[in-house]
Amino acid sequence: MNDNGNDMLAYQEAAQTLRDGGLVAFPTETVYGLGADARSTEAVERIFRAKGRPSDNPLIVHIADRAQLSALAESISPLAEALMDRFWPGPLTLVLPAREGAVSPRVTAGLRTVAVRMPGHPAALRLIAAAGCPVAAPSANRSGRPSPTQAVHVLDDLGGSIDGILDGGPAGVGLESTVVEPLEGRIHVLRPGGITAEQLREVAEVVLHASLVSGDEQQPEAEPAYEGEAPAGSGTISTPPGAAIQPPLPASEGPKSPGMKYRHYAPRGQMMVAEPRAGHDAGAFTAAVQAALDTAKARGETTGILTYEEHASLYHADIVAVCGRLAEPETIAQGLYGALRRFDAEGATYILAETIPAKGIGFAVMNRLSKAAGHRKLEWS
Ligand code: TXA
Ligand code: MG
């Protein structure tokens, strides 16, 4: 299936496939999704099988029209309405009280809430509207791989186990949607993504779970505490509108996204983030990163560096993955998953990734990078 301009047939065919219980991958403004009729347990089970996804990780339901919402959600608070008014269609997923029986119980994985989003990509909206049903769609990657930002990534991961792809070219944002739960007038961020905390804060107070910052992801294995890092806690950080992000504070448990407990993408090679330190000059940092790459190379590793256009000429490694421009962090979000896929494709065994400032979309970029690195950091002095 090809989204070449006015290819009605592609949409009709794709929509019919969804109505028939099939799986169709489609572009959204964040990443490619793997869609199925959210009302059909059989179809939804096929999604879990194709992805190799744990069955207790619920799916996002995609809609094309706010009129579809009342069938899915039991109630919609004024804050939820305000968020939809402001950010839909777009990269924001709202966790709302579920209306029983509206979608297959496999979609919500037994939770009493349902995650809903109206994507901001015309092809996605057109497909969902043509299908005439709520469309359950996780990212269209095999579980444990980076989300697909191009149709070819979907084919690499899922070719043969799905019924079709609507090709809409490269995804715009490059990272998944922000998942939030509006509760008692506050916006709880369960997963950072395409809508930034700064943008959300213009609507209401934002609560960021500390694990999004410090990397306490309830991993199966205990994780080391790193020098200079606050001990991993399960606290929350509450920031009133206009405030800057504060370091994690131990506090009560906030709502969580089941998906956050899984180890997400980790490259086959060992990966660490490399972070410049205040008080050290940039040259010392670059030299330390290059020395680490050289040492790894000398012991026979295939080395990779994830860096940005401004720094690309500073490093030598087997794979220099240039991922956007520091001056435009949106370009880094766009390029991130493609760069990570490249390390696997080219057999990197030792990877360093330069950090970027964790503000704006940089917060979501650093959340994904730290996870990919298993929260390991390069030690340097
Ligand atoms: O940008 C996106 O959100 C993409 C595109 C395709 O829309 N989709 C996506 O889906 O990233 P997926 O399945 O890869 O991630 C869905 C996340 C998971 O972390 C899941 O645990 C969480 O949303 N989630 C789904 N339903 C939830 C619920 N009822 N409560 C809390 N978290 C939920
Ligand atoms: Mg995913």
Does the Cβ of 58 fall within 6 Å of ligand 1?
Answer: yes
CATH 3.90.870.10 fits 1-260, yes or no: yes
Calculate how far, in angstroms, residue 146's C-alpha sits from the geometric centre of ligand 1: 14
Ranges of each domain in the chain: 1-260, 270-372
Residue for token pair 């606290």: 235
The pLDDT value given to residue 281? 87
Among all bound ligands, the one having the nearest atom to the CA of 28 is 1
Name the residue of 44, 139, 260 to mutate for ligand 1: max ligand atoms within 8 A of Cβ.
Answer: 139
Q: What is the DSSP letter of 146?
A: P
The pLDDT value given to residue 20? 97
Does the Cβ of 109 fall within 6 Å of ligand 1?
Answer: no
* Minimum CA distance residue for ligand 1 atom 31: 257
CA–chain centroid gap for 12, Å, is: 29
Nearest to 198 by CA among 254, 151, 240: 240
> Are 30 and 140 within 8 A, CB to CB?
no
The pLDDT value given to residue 12? 93
This prediction's pTM: 0.90
Does the Cβ of 139 fall within 6 Å of ligand 1?
Answer: yes
The pLDDT value given to residue 244? 41
Among all bound ligands, the one having the nearest atom to the CA of 177 is 1
Q: Diameter of the chain by CA atoms? A: 61
The pLDDT value given to residue 261? 66
Separation CA 169–CA 171 (nearest Å) = 7
The pLDDT value given to residue 246? 40
Closest atom, ligand 1, to C-alpha of 57: 21
Closest atom, ligand 1, to C-alpha of 175: 1
The pLDDT value given to residue 300? 98
Q: Is 279 left (phi over 0), alpha (psi -120 to 50) or beta?
A: left
Q: How many CA atoms lie within 13 A of 242 on its CB side?
A: 0
Does the Cβ of 138 fall within 6 Å of ligand 1?
Answer: yes
CATH superfamily assigned to domain 270-372: Threonylcarbamoyl-AMP synthase, C-terminal domain (3.40.50.11030)
Nearest to 46 by CA among 32, 25, 67: 25
The pLDDT value given to residue 247? 39
pLDDT, tens digit only, all 381 positions of the chain:
554 444 566 999 999 999 999 999 999 999 999 999 999 999 999 999 999 999 999 999 999 999 999 999 999 999 999 999 999 999 999 999 999 999 999 999 999 999 999 999 999 999 999 999 999 999 999 998 999 999 999 999 999 999 999 999 999 999 999 999 999 999 999 999 999 999 999 999 999 976 776 665 443 322 222 222 223 333 455 544 444 444 343 344 567 777 766 667 788 899 999 999 888 788 999 999 999 999 999 999 999 999 999 999 999 999 999 999 999 999 999 999 999 999 999 999 999 999 999 999 999 999 999 999 999 999 998
